[in-house]
Copies of this chain bind each other. A is one copy, B any other.
């Protein structure tokens, strides 16, 4: 029981934060040191997520929670605006940060790495905690060496604002690095309806489908002489990220310095 990893959850009232609170309360290797949310506090953390009373009241003060001195790891799914300050604060108090927010600059990452080194603790910033999504990206980049002709089709809910998705752009970058330079398609090709051929990226195309009932899906399709190869990842719910979050919490206990990108833990 004393071996449980003690976790502070920041952004506990958000959609990802609630899943993290559930994970920490239900996983036998983890225990909830504190739950913090700026706007939604003073209620029991268990009640917040539809579980029995947990005996931990959500608080609005992250620094006090970190200063209490008994936490091992901070898990933070908040906003790009607050993520840097939260991460620095966490390191200052010797609490290992596991951060699921984008928007860090290379300089910030370097600075936070130095702080982790100075404190002798590990840290992790990961824009994507989905093991399946990371495998999809790795396999797609590998396949592109042999099958340079490909397109990406990604599916998200119909209220999503940006297209293409962050994951599809990350996938496209990894593919572009792996494959030989190639401009696909017929040079004389014409769009009868503008946009039909999708978004152009480094010689290939990305298509963004937006439909109600879809959470997050992506397919990379490779075409070659007489064959196609498809790699597809379907996420059905936020809970699907939790095995990755747990792996991150465990990993961060075992090294020193800041790691950027969850894919470092996947061979």
Contact = CB atoms under 8 A, between A and B. Distances in A.
Contacts of A26: none
A66 interface: no
Given A164-B196, A185-B158, A195-B200, A221 B229 contact: no
A229 B232 contact: yes
A198 B201 contact: no
B224 A240 contact: yes
Interface string A181-214: 0001110111111111111110001111111111
A239 B225 contact: yes
A203 B122 CA distance: 38
A170 interface: no
A216 to B, nearest CB: 9
Nearest to A201: B193
Contacts of A159: 186
Count this chain's copies in the assembly.
Answer: 4
Contact-residue bracket for chain A: 35 or more
Interface stretch (A72-80, A109-117, A141-149): A141-149
Interface in A76-105: none
A226 interface: yes
Contacts of A189: 160-163, 210
A249 to B, nearest CB: 16
A87 B235 CA distance: 39
Contacts of A132: 146-147, 222, 224, 227-229
Contacts of A139: 135, 139, 142-143, 231
A190 B199 CA distance: 12
Contacts of A40: none
Interface in A213-252: 213-215, 221-243
Interface string A153-168: 1010011111110000
A186 B212 contact: no
A54 interface: no
Contacts of A215: 236
A252 to B, nearest CB: 18
| Residue from A132, A185, A227 whose CB has the most chain B CB atoms within 10 Å | A227
Interface of A: 50, 130-132, 135-136, 139, 142-143, 145-147, 149-151, 153, 155, 158-164, 169, 184-186, 188-201, 205-215, 221-243, 266-267
Given A197-B210, A227-B240, 16 more contacts: A132-B222, A135-B139, A139-B142, A150-B211, A151-B209, A158-B184, A158-B185, A160-B189, A163-B189, A163-B191, A164-B196, A207-B209, A211-B223, A213-B223, A214-B228, A226-B240
